[in-house]
Chain A
Amino acid sequence: MTQAIGSLPRTIELRAPGMTKMQEIAKLMWLPMFAMGLMVLIASLVIGGVESVLSADLFDLGKTTREGTNATGSTLDKQQFIESTRLWLPRFQLLGMGLLFAGITFLLATILGNLRLYGGLVQEKSGRKVLAMTPPWSAQVFPIAMMAGLMVLIVSLVISIVVAFIAGDVYGNPISTINGAGAGSGLLDDFQTVKTFGTWLQSLAFVGLALVLSGITLALYTIAQVLRFQHERIAQLAEGAE
């Protein structure tokens, strides 16, 4: 049953101090989420390094050799790898950042759980009613924002990978062939697709990152609300409240 008490916001009486189910899950999730993010970013550094080495190799050949119709198989393979990686690697990096920030969000949820637990223990040990604050709107919204953000980042990565396969097909041809593709040809259509998708996918990924960061902002706001409640509750206990 929720009720407003004195100057406290709406409260609920708990049977025993403890964390909510979501907070118990968050307690287990924060470290693995963060570790995954770090692994993604280290992997992307390694892939970027490989891309860089191949690009240097490619540029050691003159432009005519690199881009001519007689470009060798290994030249085309390097070109394919570079151009297709260029499409999905930035989104992979942003997913890594998103996972790191999601780990922080889970850590903040764990902090909220600990505030609830210790707040309850203080009241229980004092022999008073164990009251908790009715979750504010931000407490419901921040996990949704975090998950929506991660979904958007994953979707943008999946789309990038699909387009990267198309880029692989396109850049499996010498540059001079691509440049000579006629209007209405399949090669020109694929080239157009690769260039077009590459233009807006990064903005989509930034939307995902922005949502995850918004979740963190709302989690911190929730912590401020809970702390305000806790201080007021202890002060009221000192003043003789039940």
Chain B
Amino acid sequence: MSNPHRVDLIPAPPIQTRIYPVLIAVGFLIVLAALVIGVALATTAADVFDATKAARDGALPGSSLLGDQSDLAAIPLWVQPFTFVGISILVAGIFTVFWGLLRSLREARGAAMVEAVPLLLQQSANAPKGGE
């Protein structure tokens, strides 16, 4: 049976470890939403390009064919920056967890090493040699 963790010896996990999963989830969902929109738009593209060029060019204002062409032109113009925002939220998640790592490096590991290593060296120096 393994020893339990001694979490009383180090500070609590930094808050960044609770924030980053939210950012990762939101970012990924945004990118997934962009893919779903792309797939939906693909069905619109299929409808548009099933019509001949003459029909597409002659589509009257208010017609569904012109509306579909409008969607095909307009929607990618905001979906692409939207995808980049999703990726940037993901990168923000990575940034946040690195920030938490920096804090842990200082508060958990760094402070512990500065306190513990000199003690351990002293204990090694004072330890009874074999036979004493």
Contacts and interface: CB of A to CB of B under 8 A. Distances in A.
- A–B touch (CB < 8 A): the answer is yes
What is the size category of the interface that chain B forms with chain A? Answer: 35 or more
Nearest to B72: A59
Main secondary structure of the interface of A (DSSP, over half): helix
B99 to A, nearest CB: 7
Interface in B84-128: 84-85, 87-88, 91-92, 94-95, 98-99, 101-102, 105-106, 109-110, 113-114, 117-118, 120-121, 124
Interface in A114-136: 114-115, 117-118, 121-122, 125-127
B70 A108 contact: no
Given A100-B91, A108-B98, A60 B78 contact: no
A34 interface: yes
Interface string A84-127: 00100110010011001101100110110011011001100111
Interface residues of A, number: 50
**Is chain B's interface secondary structure helix, strand, loop, or mixed overall?**
helix
A37 B87 CA distance: 12
Interface of B: 56-61, 66, 69-71, 73-75, 77-78, 80-82, 84-85, 87-88, 91-92, 94-95, 98-99, 101-102, 105-106, 109-110, 113-114, 117-118, 120-121, 124
The list of the 7 closest CB pairs from A to B, nearest first, reads A59-B70, A48-B81, A118-B110, A52-B78, A56-B74, A52-B77, A55-B74
Given A108-B98, A118-B113, 14 more contacts: A37-B88, A41-B85, A44-B84, A45-B85, A48-B80, A49-B78, A52-B75, A61-B61, A62-B61, A62-B66, A118-B114, A234-B117, A237-B121, A238-B124
